[in-house]
């Protein structure tokens, strides 16, 4: 299979590309900065320079003779990202259809599409454009993905490490169904072989559902820390907490603020039928957290 991965240098892409190469697929990566993707090129994939933010740059060369295209592009760290994401998705979808690509695979978010945050609404709007204007779409929908260097993981860890207490206001009791990165990569790489996933949503999640406050406590436990004190805080609105997330996170401040804004809705699997044909049993989140923490520590030691 010849596959294209757009967004190959992101958190998901950097793990998916080696997995596809290991299965002996012919993999291309559409990248804005080939130097940043040098390690992927050394690992056996072809690098095609291109920028989806600009019309016609690199897409024709990248999509030629491609059977499956993975669209993992997100622009949350940029101002006005929703409009940019829609334009990029439309550009990609039309080029993929013109090139005769058989399938596009996209990873978006769970959550009520009408009451969700701007971040989740943008994810779903991107999927709608890809489905309407491109080849048949497999639209994976996940909540928080647990893995080292994930922006969600970095924010969760920072809260568990740096805050002496957390607000317990009602909106922080919404539920989430996080999933480990290993399972996400398995779903993505298996998608082309699962005929039932063609042209449909596939909701994926871990084995357990937590409130956001319970996830903070779980992270604190894995870090060897005490359960966080909780206090109902007047003025702890989603906007105020998003502003605070910018301060505490170890990752991208703008992305952290957008992710925190997504806590206002439940992000849980409501239709498991799309995931059943894959036969995947995601590992418990406590184990996914342990793996992510261990990988983070190894990376820190190697950089020292």
Domains and CATH numbers, the chain: 2-143+180-204+270-282 (3.40.50.720)
Per residue in 120-132, pLDDT (tens digit) is 888 899 999 999 9
**Residue pair 282/205 in contact by the 8 Å Cβ criterion:** yes
pLDDT at site 107: 97
Q: Give the mean pLDDT of 49-75.
A: 87
Contact status, residue 187 vs residue 281, Cβ threshold 8 Å: no
What local confidence, expressed as pLDDT, does residue 192 receive? 96
Predicted local distance difference test score (pLDDT) of residue 119: 77
Average pLDDT over residues 201-219: 94
What local confidence, expressed as pLDDT, does residue 200 receive? 97
pLDDT value of residue 238: 60
Percent of the chain residues topping a pLDDT of 70: 87
pLDDT value of residue 239: 63
Which range is least confidently modeled, 29-38, 163-172, 213-222, 255-264?
A: 255-264
Lowest-confidence pick of 4-8, 28-32, 232-236: 232-236
Run of H or E residues at 93: helix 81-98
Would the pLDDT of 63 be above 80? Answer: yes
pLDDT digits (tens, 9 = 90+) for 97-121: 999 999 999 999 998 765 567 778 8
Banded model confidence at residue 231, pLDDT cuts 50, 70, 90: low
Residue 160's pLDDT band, with cuts at 50, 70 and 90, is confident
What is the per-residue pLDDT across 274-293, written as a single tens digit (0 to 9) for each? 999 999 999 999 999 999 99
Conformation bin of residue 39: beta by default, left when phi > 0, alpha when psi is -120 to 50: alpha
Using only the alpha carbons of the chain, give its radius of gyration.
19
Q: Give 64's pLDDT tier (boundaries 50, 70, 90).
A: very high
pTM of the model: 0.92
- Decide if 224 contacts 157 (C-beta within 8 A): no
Q: Determine contact, residues 89/108, Cβ cutoff 8 Å.
A: no
């Amino acid at each position: 299979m010849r596959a294209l991965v757009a967004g190959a240098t992101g958190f998901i892409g950097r793990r998916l590309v080696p997995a596809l190469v290991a299965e002996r697929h012919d993999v291309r990566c559409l990248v804005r900065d080939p130097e940043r993707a040098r390690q992927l090129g050394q690992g056996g994939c072809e690098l095609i320079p291109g920028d989806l933010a600009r019309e016609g740059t690199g897409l024709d060369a990248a999509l030629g003779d491609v059977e499956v295209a993975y669209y993992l592009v997100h622009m949350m760290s940029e101002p006005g990202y929703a409009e940019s994401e829609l334009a990029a998705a439309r550009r990609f979808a039309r080029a993929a259809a013109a090139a005769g690509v058989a399938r596009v695979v996209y990873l978006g978010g769970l959550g009520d599409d009408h009451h969700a945050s701007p971040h989740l609404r943008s994810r779903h709007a991107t999927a709608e454009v890809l489905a309407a204007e491109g080849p048949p779409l497999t639209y994976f929908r996940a909540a928080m993905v647990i893995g080292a260097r994930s922006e969600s993981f970095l924010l969760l860890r920072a809260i568990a490490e740096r805050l002496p207490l957390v607000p317990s206001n009602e909106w922080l009791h919404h539920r989430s169904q996080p999933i480990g990165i290993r399972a996400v990569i398995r779903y993505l790489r298996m998608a082309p072989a699962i005929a039932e996933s063609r042209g449909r949503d596939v909701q994926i999640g871990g084995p357990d559902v937590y409130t956001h406050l319970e996830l903070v406590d779980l992270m604190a436990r894995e870090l060897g820390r005490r359960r966080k004190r909780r206090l109902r805080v007047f003025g702890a609105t989603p906007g105020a907490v998003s502003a605070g997330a910018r301060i505490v996170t170890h990752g991208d401040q703008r992305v952290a603020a957008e992710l925190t804004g997504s806590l206002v809705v439940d992000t849980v699997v409501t239709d498991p039928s799309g995931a059943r044909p894959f036969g995947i049993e995601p590992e418990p989140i406590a184990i996914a957290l342990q793996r992510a923490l261990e990988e983070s520590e190894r990376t820190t030691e190697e950089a020292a």
